[in-house]
Amino acid sequence: MKSSIVDVAGLHKSFGGQQVLQGVNWTIEPGKVIGLLGRNGAGKSTLLACLLGLREADSGTAALFGERVTDLSDTVRAQIGYVPQKSDLFEWMTPVQMLDYFKALYPRWNATKVAGLMRRWGLDGQSAQQRIGKLSGGEKQRLSIIRALAHDPRLLVLDEPVASLDPVGRRDFLHELVDDVIERDTTVIFSTHILSDLERVALDVAFLQGGKITLQAPLDELLESAHRVTGTAAALAGLRFGDEIRRHHGPDGGATILARLTDAEAAALRAGPGLRVETLNLEDLFVEVTK
């Protein structure tokens, strides 16, 4: 059995008395490409910062490559790439100066990859000599992505990495992610609110809701099996499923069950009276799981 890359156990984090993470347990195996989903304010960025050791948790533990994030070795740090939601670049430097600085910190720095990305993403020439603070938001985000990819990390953590990119920039980044990073069996955690982008790259999805990971599964399997069953509370009262995700009772006497069903189970329910059975796309599933 492969050792897990990420191990999070009982992670809690509060801000000003408001609990954001409420006992998160999360294990990620090598080579997984996971889309982290949750509503705005659900705590996705906080979770990623805690599992990288960039923010101290109130309680619980987080480990990467078997090492506690509070005491990571230089060897493990050199295997991690991170693109934060908000730019943390050295804005008084030029892109060339900043990349030269980080090159000295990473023994596996891939100068050929850096040069190729700088050229393809329009950051060579005059842009490479400007101070980073004068670059556009999209250019800064491209540069942040190049920095994260430059040392061929074994773990790549992306927190809304395409938020400032136009459709062409998003396409170019996703192309790089699929054709290079994922092909090298890199473990990727990809937080984004653009579900169409996620469907192009993620093999698994994990939902953060109520301060916990409430559902994680292979995306294709989830989209094939996730169903919404609606009817009266009385009609649904006797229904029980082995893989029920959530159950909701409305104020009008109606009820909804979100569950993973086999084709046979879905067909049997559709044949019964008083029930509506629907398959869900990713957007529908996101809305239902994160209610």
Q: What is the pLDDT of residue 100?
A: 93
Determine whether domain 221-289 maps to CATH 3.40.50: no
- Predicted pLDDT at 1: 46
Percent helix, strand and coil across the chain, each rounded to 5?
35, 30, 35
List the strands of the sheet with 244-249, edge to edge: 244-249, 254-260, 226-232, 276-279
Query: Which pLDDT value is given to residue 2?
Result: 59
Q: Is the Cα dihedral 209, 212, 214, 217 positive or negative? A: positive
Comparing CA positions, the residue from 290, 271, 284 lying closest to residue 226 is: 284
Cβ(231)–Cβ(255) below 8 Å: yes
The list of the chain residues with pLDDT below 50 reads 1
User: Domain coordinates of the chain in residue numbers?
Assistant: 6-210, 221-289
Q: Does domain 6-210 have CATH number 3.40.50.11810?
A: no
Structure tokens at 120: 């393809």
Q: What is the rounded CA–CA span in Å between residue 159 and residue 219? A: 19
Q: What is the pLDDT of residue 247?
A: 87
> Whose structure tokens read 């094939």?
224
pTM of the predicted structure, to 2 decimals: 0.90
pLDDT of 179: 75
